[in-house]
């Protein structure tokens, strides 16, 4: 089962920055937490590759072009949990609103 997300370049920048924080999270001796972390490592790598390719192609500054990404259901579920965890610690209010909108989008598509 696939979950399609349609995000802007600004959301990709915020998402890449926040998913890279997964490597800083402490490991808790809980099965669900370990599953989320395990899936999140793959998600962080996926968004890093997409971000790097957009930077190399210099299409990161094209504000009209949206990015379509396909995530597996378990990846969308783990991404939602990860973002809910890190959204409270964000300093940039604009990125926080973009991430919150993505959390809502993921919540609607994974119900």
**CA–CA distances in Å: residue 15 to residues 1, 47, 84, 98:** 22, 7, 12, 9
Each residue's pLDDT tens digit, 44-98: 999 999 999 888 877 666 667 888 999 999 999 999 998 998 888 888 899 999 9
Residue carrying structure tokens 């995530």: 71
**pLDDT tier, 16 (very low <50, low <70, confident <90, very high otherwise):** very high
Euclidean distance between the first and final Cα of the chain, in Å? 13
pLDDT of residue 59: 67
Q: Are 22 and 40 in contact (CB under 8 A)?
A: yes
């Amino acid at each position: 089962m696939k979950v399609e997300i349609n995000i802007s370049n600004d959301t990709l920048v915020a998402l890449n920055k926040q998913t890279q924080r997964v490597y800083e999270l402490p490991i808790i001796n809980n099965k669900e937490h370990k599953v989320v972390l395990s899936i999140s490592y793959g998600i962080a790598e996926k968004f890093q590759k997409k971000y790097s390719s957009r930077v190399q192609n210099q299409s990161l500054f094209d504000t009209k072009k949206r990015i379509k990404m396909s995530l597996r259901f378990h990846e969308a579920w783990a991404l939602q949990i990860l973002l809910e965890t890190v959204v409270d610690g964000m300093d940039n209010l604009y990125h926080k609103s973009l991430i919150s909108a993505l959390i809502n989008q993921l919540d609607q598509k994974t119900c």
